[in-house]
Amino acid sequence: MEVIQQYRAYRPRPLKGEERGKVKIVYGGLTWKHERLIQGALENAGYKAEPLPEIKRADLDIGKELIDTGACCPTTFTAGNLARFLKEKSEREGREGVKEGYVFVTIGACGPCRFGQYHESYERVLENLDFKDFRMFLLDLLQMEQNEGGLEITMPLTFGLVYSMFLGDLMTDMEYAIRPYEVIPGETDKVLKESIELIYDRLKNRPSRGKKWGSLLWHVTTPYFVKVLKEVRELWDKVEVDRLRVKPRVKITGEFWLQTHEGDGNYNIKRWLEQEGAEVIPPPIAVWMDYLIYLSLWKMEESREFVEKFWLKKAVIKLLLNLYHFTYNRLRKALNNIPNTLPPQEELRSLAKPYFHHFLAGGEGYMLIGKALYAHLNKHAHMICELSPYGCMPNTMSIGAMQAVLGKYPDLLYAPIEIKGDAEVHALSRCQMILTEAKKRAQREFEEALERTGLSVEDIRNYEDERPELRKATYKVPHYGYAGTSANYVMHVAKLMGRV
Ligand code: SF4
């Protein structure tokens, strides 16, 4: 008799409550800076933690062999990366050691794109490598704990993760604002490493104030992290920069994983842009969380007549948003406001409105249009580089809508780059073409600023000799309406000299 097996959704072997603290949590998908800080937050909460190894080009091939070939680029890279991790660890620690010693934590949720199916791909990896009983924990954004255990989401852990995200973002902003102008090559990377280690140590060893209200109060009011960043600022104070190097500013947008990533997964595009002479504006992860909170607020407003205690709930979300921005800005201030502000979501939504409805969720939703227009109209960047994984539905929608945007703003320099993982030359050469025009714009702006102020490069150099603090990496140059750092710097020096 033929037995028909009904379809059953995959349920990975769970992480039991009593295993917490004994089993190492493995995670990935962010920058090495964010991952190191998350490690500190997890260790503070009593877990053992280890990020997945750095993504390599080989991971794409491993992933393609093991999972559905139509899967999007972030899934394929991560699946291959997980497989390589399991193989390499097994060679060193034996299969049983790996099965018993580690749990892979990944994020999932339902939605219009393939985000909700990532874990199915990872299951294929485990199946194909005969690791079916390897523990995997799906950190569902809508349901943070497994029935059998999972992670214990306490107040200190939640705040630890939020601070890891903020601090990782701020350090990334510092890095990209400074490295293109560093006088001694390699100094930014060295100071960055020292800063991350310092913050990691403080995150890991932050004081315990219980698991609930005491912890909440402490994390919301404490000057602890501001003090840490003041120490970090002293490290960056020693880095000397030359802001007279004329560089186009390139804002990175795109799909979450691709835009955040720093490695072979997106052709190392941020480093590549720097080598091509650009200054990169990286995307903070905090913008994504801000977006999610705003979306929930707008959804609630849309159906207010059906929401119980609407005004109370709205007030709570507004308070949360104010606290979120206040904390981010407070930390920025400790670094002399060198990291960028979070873009205002209300404005992003209204800029994108004629082209993209804000409830078309999935991927980065309206933000891709909103961020491009916001940077262009406020002269924050010369060019937008949007990174899209091949076959990604939300990004395809945004690229389509951007054609209407370009019809209205033909001078917006926009490079939509499709990342396939194995078509590097094609993608980078497209980017290079737009970058050439961005370079010309940066140069024209710089010359215009010199002409407006009547200054020469030599005059500015002489003035720098009198005011050496101008060459500190932590010196804040205000925005004078130019997209380029060098043009704004000329205006600033002219103002200090009383020329404008
Ligand atoms: S946003 Fe695009 S790349 Fe990212 S998971 Fe969804 S479909 Fe895949």
Ligand 1 and 392: CB distance under 6 A: yes
> How many Å apart are CA 246 and CA 138, to the nearest integer?
46
Confidence check: pLDDT of 288 > 90: yes
Is residue 32 within 8 A of residue 50, CB to CB? The reply is no
Choose one of 110, 144, 178: the last residue of a domain: 144
Ligand 1 and 115: CB distance under 6 A: yes
Ligand 1 and 261: CB distance under 6 A: no
Asked if residue 471 and residue 351 are part of one domain, the reply reads yes
Indicate the pLDDT class of residue 142, thresholds 50, 70 and 90: very low
**Any domain includes 84:** yes
- 146 beta partners: none
> Which residue in 336, 324, 82, 49 sits closest to 200, CA to CA?
49
Measured from the CA of 113, which atom of ligand 1 is nearest?
A: 6
Confidence check: pLDDT of 110 > 60: no
The residue ranking higher by pLDDT, 241 or 391, is 241
Asked if residue 125 and residue 253 are part of one domain, the reply reads no
Per-residue pLDDT tens for 62-72? Answer: 999 999 877 88
Per-residue pLDDT tens for 387-429? Answer: 998 878 788 888 889 999 999 999 999 999 988 877 889 889 9
Is residue 131 within 8 A of residue 102, CB to CB? The reply is no
Indicate the pLDDT class of residue 326, thresholds 50, 70 and 90: very high
Compute the chain's Rg from CA coordinates. 24
Is residue 314 within 8 A of residue 300, CB to CB? The reply is yes
Confidence check: pLDDT of 143 > 80: no
The protein residue with its alpha carbon nearest to ligand 1, atom 1, reads: 363
> For position 139, what pLDDT does the model report?
72
Confidence check: pLDDT of 61 > 60: yes
Asked if residue 268 and residue 385 are part of one domain, the reply reads yes
> For position 396, what pLDDT does the model report?
84
Distance from the CA of 165 to the center of ligand 1, in angstroms? 21
Choose one of 96, 116, 144: the last residue of a domain: 144
What is the token pair recorded at 143?
């349901």
Ligand 1 and 206: CB distance under 6 A: no
Ligand 1 and 363: CB distance under 6 A: yes
**Any domain includes 170:** no
Measured from the CA of 389, which atom of ligand 1 is nearest?
A: 3
Per-residue pLDDT tens for 161-203? Answer: 999 999 999 999 999 999 999 999 999 999 999 999 999 999 9
Distance from the CA of 49 to the center of ligand 1, in angstroms? 26
Residue 365: domain span: 243-282+345-499
Within 8 A by CB and 6+ apart from 396, the residues are 388
**Any domain includes 171:** no
Confidence check: pLDDT of 146 > 60: no
> For position 177, what pLDDT does the model report?
98
> How many Å apart are CA 224 and CA 207, to the nearest integer?
10
User: By CB neighbour count within 10 A (0-12 exposed, 13-18 middle, 19+ buried), where does 430 fall?
Assistant: middle
Mean confidence (pLDDT) of the chain: 92
Query: Other C-beta atoms within 10 Å of 147: how many?
Result: 7
Indicate the pLDDT class of residue 147, thresholds 50, 70 and 90: low
Residues constituting the chain: 500
Per-residue pLDDT tens for 306-325? Answer: 999 999 999 999 999 999 99
Judged by average pLDDT, the poorest of 40-44, 273-277, 396-400, 473-477 is: 396-400
**Any domain includes 180:** no
**Any domain includes 164:** no
Per-residue pLDDT tens for 354-370? Answer: 999 999 887 889 999 99
User: By CB neighbour count within 10 A (0-12 exposed, 13-18 middle, 19+ buried), where does 9 fall?
Assistant: exposed
Residue type, 21: G
> For position 148, what pLDDT does the model report?
64
The protein residue with its alpha carbon nearest to ligand 1, atom 5, reads: 115
**Any domain includes 398:** yes
> For position 421, what pLDDT does the model report?
75
Distance from the CA of 257 to the center of ligand 1, in angstroms? 8
> How many Å apart are CA 267 and CA 265, to the nearest integer?
6
Number of independent structural domains in the chain: 2
Measured from the CA of 111, which atom of ligand 1 is nearest?
A: 6
Choose one of 128, 144, 160: the last residue of a domain: 144
**Any domain includes 1:** no
Ligand 1 and 119: CB distance under 6 A: no
Q: What is the pTM of this model?
A: 0.94
